[in-house]
Amino acid sequence: MKPFLSRCTLLVLALLALGAAPLRAQREKLPLEDLEVVEKKWPDAKRTYTGLRYVILKKAEKETPDASPVPGMIVKVLYKGMLLNGKVFDQATDPAQPLKTRLGRGDLIDGWEEALQRMHRGEKWLLIVPPEMGYGATGKPPLIPRRATLVFEMELLDFERK
């Protein structure tokens, strides 16, 4: 019985050493030079398992179970999109004309899809999007360069099913 237990113990330890460690480790998604800027400017930013970072600038007045949108819903959002150096590349800041788009249809960058499903109605976030959750290696010339870390101030005004 003892040899079996020791073989099982060795097998479990080997599996943990080979498999479990990479599952727990999170690869940093921001380029090193961008990471230094982000950690200096927004040291309290929370980080999700995907590498998305955010700071809640304005909390929702009341949080209810249905206070966050899900794929298929139309969201109304105010936002200002910037490069890490602060240069604005796009915005919709007029409450009378917010961006209206449907979640889960592939129209939004991955960083927005994730953030909007975490946000509550009425919240305003500062969102820091790593390149692979934004426009990636190709960027969106001429406004967004290749491998750009993006920063958004975004407010979820409302959402609805259609």
Question: 29: closest CA among 108, 118, 110, 89?
Answer: 110
Residue type at 146 in one-letter notation: R
CA–CA separation, 82 and 73 (whole Å): 26
**Known catalytic residue: 128?**
no
Residue 24 corresponds to which tokens in the numbers above? 């727990």
Q: Which of 34, 128, 144, 152 is catalytic?
A: 152
Residue pair 123/156 in contact (Cβ under 8 Å)? The answer is yes
Specify whether 159 is catalytic: no
**Given 34, 109, 128, 144, the catalytic residue:** 109
Question: What number of residues does the chain have?
Answer: 162
Instruction: Confirm if 79 and 155 have CB atoms less than 8 A apart.
Output: yes
* Catalytically annotated residue among 54, 79, 128, 159: 79
- CB-count burial class (<10 Å; 0-12, 13-18, 19+) for 14: exposed
Residue 23 identity (one-letter amino acid): L
Catalytic residue list contains 4? no
90 is catalytic: yes
Residues annotated as catalytic (active site), given as ranges? 79, 89-90, 109, 135, 152
